[in-house]
A and B are shown apart, each in its own frame.
Chain A
């Protein structure tokens, strides 16, 4: 069980998804990817993308306008 934190603070919309897509490839099954974002648009489409891939996803607003998206690699 590894936890990888991906810092995407200050990155505009498509980048968090592109980076997450790359990062999650290197993870093992059951590992957890934590993506930190502060772009409101990514807050919507990053979890949606991850859920469509079939991963377990949780979003938490850690501060005003800052979110952590927890993606568990399940397949």
Chain B
């Protein structure tokens, strides 16, 4: 592409913008008006080096503990998927208001549906064997604090330009401004952890914790949750169609 550019530097502004508007039908005669730019660096050697470092760290960690090695690999994979997929929880909640687009909202809903099925399968498997169900420590009481906390987190992530995973992923990309977000994210987490006991005793434990399969049965809970997600998906789809027309 850069070779084409150099031959076209001399083309006048009028002629070049004209060529863009003539491409209205979407034909791809692009790069006609582009200024020349430096050649991009070949990233493949750096990529291979990073993969080698990741594998070395993984094998080093596996000597200490297999779980640490697994966490490392899952973390790296998760980051890659987030970055490549341009998946953003912040945008999924913010874009419906800002631009009327619910593409990412629906992507998050699909992710919720998949995890619902996966987690139900895992938990039901343990339940059938009569083993203690894993992850029950995460069934925590819900109260007004959940809503207020979620709202505060929402304000924070829109200002910071990313939620927890998004901020970390963009720092990995080299977006320096979000180092500020990370700094305060760490400070806030430490402060939160410091005072969590008080909140838990005085506010959180006053709420009621609900595990849906206890209330509706395993099938009922699964159908209810997937049904709810489907309704949200449908609403999101209609919302976007309405915004456009």
Contact = CB atoms under 8 A, between A and B. Distances in A.
Interface of A: 1, 3, 10-15, 17-18, 30, 32, 38-41, 43-45, 48-49, 52, 56, 58, 60-65, 70, 72, 74
B3 interface: no
A13 B21 contact: no
A42 B158 CA distance: 13
B161 A41 contact: yes
Chain A interface main SS type:
mixed
Nearest to B1: A60
Contacts of B173: 40, 65
Contact of B177 (A12, A17, A18): A12
Given A1-B18, A14-B94, A58-B20, A38 B41 contact: no
Given A13-B162, A39-B170, A56-B24, 4 more contacts: A40-B86, A41-B91, A49-B101, A52-B243
Given A1-B13, A39-B170, A41-B170, A13 B91 contact: yes
23 contacts: A1-B13, A3-B13, A13-B91, A14-B161, A30-B21, A32-B17, A32-B20, A39-B161, A39-B170, A39-B175, A40-B170, A41-B162, A43-B86, A45-B95, A48-B101, A49-B98, A52-B101, A52-B243, A52-B244, A56-B21, A61-B40, A64-B41, A72-B21
Given A13-B161, A56-B24, A45 B101 contact: yes
Contacts of B141: none
In this complex, the member of B20, B43, B174, B176 whose beta carbon has the largest number of chain A beta carbons within 10 angstroms is: B20
Interface in B1-54: 13-14, 17-18, 20-21, 23-24, 30-31, 34, 37-38, 40-41, 43
A52 B99 contact: yes
A45 B177 CA distance: 19
Nearest to A41: B88
A74 B24 CA distance: 9
B160 interface: yes
Contacts of B100: 52
Nearest to B18: A1
A56 B19 CA distance: 12
Contacts of B21: 30, 56, 72, 74
Contacts of B43: 64
B8 to A, nearest CB: 14
A12 B20 contact: no
Given A32-B20, A65-B173, A14 B98 contact: yes
